[in-house]
Amino acid sequence: MSNLAFAQRDLAVLWHPCTQMKDHEALPPVPIRRGQGVWLEDFEGKRYLDAISSWWVNLFGHAHPYINDAIKAQLEQLEHVILAGFSHEPAVRLAERLTHLAPPSLSRCFYADNGSSAVEVALKMSYHYWRNLGKTRKTRFVTLENSYHGETLGALAVGDVALYKETYAPLLMDVITVPSPDCFHREKGESWADYSARRFSDMEKTLAAHSEEVCAVIVEPLVQCAGSMRMYDPVYLKLLREACDRYGVHLIADEIAVGFGRTGSLFACEQAGITPDFLCLSKGLTGGYLPLSAVLTRETVYQAFYGDYATLKAFLHSHSYTGNPLACTAALASLDLFERDDVIARNRILAREMADATTGLADHPHVAEVRQTGMILAVELVEDKNTRQPYPWQERRGRQVYRHALSRGVLLRPLGDVVYFMPPYVIAPEQIRLMADVAREGIALATAD
């Protein structure tokens, strides 16, 4: 079946995520019949380099033989079982390994089945913890400008990307939003560390004024991914950890996108040497194979819920597929690969290749900034380089880059006018150069007039 014939079947029944479906009149969805390593192959045999790891989930390429075999073996044993009242080897083994790998003191693992649900779990657990301690005035959350934590109503409420949030504003809980340490806004010549540290004064003031009513501060450590891949310095996390302790407020680290080696360390929090009170993990957790998420927390949090049933302190939250054995098995296999192949060290070399492949792009007359944290590199396009005036959003320049890249066999998916790379860790240097060259061409075309 041709791509077009299949697209017609698709468009007759499907409603795609994060899509204005009318856009498909001009550009039909690309049907994929096979994946192998960094490559996706469509119904007509054309290949696309997956430069965005299929929405930031894939770590070791598509159809990895080791992960495939692990899932096949588990499938013969047990596909799924209720996790309330029952247990199984992959869930326990994965909790053992995650609590061992995570920053110190995160000794408890609660499973859910997608990123947004993990954020909901962390928010509810934090609020409920304070309530169990008798601190019933604590009902609010603090978040950073330009942050993203998912699409369910609680997760959407603590996020701050207007495009996703504004429509639903009347449905959302009220949160306290603090300016971001995002280094795009630093002064000329100012270091990332100086700017991010300077930005902390707003957070300090907010906590000083509101700590009595605040349950937790939620942040995406180091990179605000859905918020245009904006980046900041680890010093902010250090200051935040210290202030949360001082004011008696939880710190929730949403590492759903940045966890598992994306930023140059296994977890981004490691670069600040901090332990959050809640660590939310998903996306790369299963190597990009199956939906799963986990919230890691401290023994003190766990103990605040522990007691006789009649005290009604228990955390009665659940999802049907919580801790699914196949998904936990994929996660265990992915962790094996981290150990076996010394992925973090290899990623440092790949990150350097990504920087080299994009040299000179920062001098382009319509590029405001090229920024990088580990295996994430972003190029921000603007209409006016000096004033950093963006292009009118209606012109959809980033979409022109997307279309060009597809025609050249690369899957780039700019966030607005921010072109970025977030490839699987098995990408080869020549593939990095291909991805960068195609982005360069796309940027030249999209900014030509």
Ligand X SMILES: *Cc1c(COP(=O)(O)O)cnc(C)c1O
Judged by beta carbon, residue 6 or residue 184, the one nearer ligand X is 184
Quick count: other Cβ atoms within 10 Å of Cβ 296? 28
Kindly state the smallest distance separating residue 148's Cβ from ligand X, in Å.
5
Sequence-separated (6 or more) residues with CB below 8 Å from residue 227: 146, 147, 148, 160, 161, 180, 182
Q: What is the CA radius of gyration of the chain?
A: 22
Judged by beta carbon, residue 99 or residue 293, the one nearer ligand X is 293
Our finding on whether 123 is near ligand X (CB under 6 A) is no
Judged by beta carbon, residue 74 or residue 116, the one nearer ligand X is 116
- Quote the CA–CA distance of 323 and 269 in Å, as a whole number: 24
Segment near ligand X (CB under 6 A); pick from 178-186, 220-228, 393-401, 428-436: 220-228
Spatial contact of 379 and 358, defined as CB atoms under 8 Å apart: yes
Question: What sign for the dihedral angle of Cα 150, 54, 220, 270?
Answer: positive
- Quote the CA–CA distance of 389 and 384 in Å, as a whole number: 5
Spatial contact of 146 and 160, defined as CB atoms under 8 Å apart: yes
- Quote the CA–CA distance of 72 and 333 in Å, as a whole number: 12
Kindly state the smallest distance separating residue 276's Cβ from ligand X, in Å.
13
Our finding on whether 292 is near ligand X (CB under 6 A) is no
Judged by beta carbon, residue 35 or residue 288, the one nearer ligand X is 288
Kindly state the smallest distance separating residue 259's Cβ from ligand X, in Å.
9
Segment near ligand X (CB under 6 A); pick from 114-122, 206-214, 234-242, 305-313: 114-122
Which SS3 state, helix, strand or coil, does residue 410 take? strand
Residue nearest to ligand X according to CB distances in the complex? 115
Which SS3 state, helix, strand or coil, does residue 372 take? strand
Sequence-separated (6 or more) residues with CB below 8 Å from residue 215: 123, 126, 127, 129, 130, 138, 139, 140, 141, 249, 250
Among 42, 220, 233, 369, binds ligand X (CB under 6 A): 220
Our finding on whether 149 is near ligand X (CB under 6 A) is yes
Among 49, 240, 257, 427, binds ligand X (CB under 6 A): 257
Considering CB under 6 A, how many residues would be counted as binding ligand X? Answer: 15
Our finding on whether 119 is near ligand X (CB under 6 A) is yes
The residue with tokens 């009649």 is 310
Segment near ligand X (CB under 6 A); pick from 97-105, 115-123, 132-140, 333-341: 115-123
Among 148, 289, 321, 338, binds ligand X (CB under 6 A): 148
Judged by beta carbon, residue 164 or residue 247, the one nearer ligand X is 164
Please, which residues bridge with residue 173 across strands? none
Our finding on whether 115 is near ligand X (CB under 6 A) is yes
Among 98, 231, 243, 256, binds ligand X (CB under 6 A): 256
Q: Tell which residue, 357, 337, 358, has the closest CA to residue 425.
A: 337
Our finding on whether 150 is near ligand X (CB under 6 A) is yes
For 114-156, the DSSP string reads SHHHHHHHHHHHHHHHHHHTT-TT--EEEEETT----SSHHHH
- Quote the CA–CA distance of 204 and 323 in Å, as a whole number: 37
Judged by beta carbon, residue 377 or residue 443, the one nearer ligand X is 377
Q: Tell which residue, 52, 32, 50, 53, has the closest CA to residue 42.
A: 32
Segment near ligand X (CB under 6 A); pick from 72-80, 96-104, 110-118, 271-279: 110-118
The residue with tokens 């989930």 is 57
CA angle 338/228/259 to nearest 5° reads: 20
Q: Tell which residue, 219, 262, 271, 221, has the closest CA to residue 376.
A: 262
Judged by beta carbon, residue 374 or residue 442, the one nearer ligand X is 374
Site string for ligand X, 295-324 (x = CB under 6 A): ------------------------------
Kindly state the smallest distance separating residue 293's Cβ from ligand X, in Å.
7
Site string for ligand X, 177-216 (x = CB under 6 A): ----------------------------------------
Our finding on whether 226 is near ligand X (CB under 6 A) is yes
Interface ranges with ligand X (CB under 6 A): 114-116, 119, 148-150, 220, 225-226, 254, 256-257, 282-283
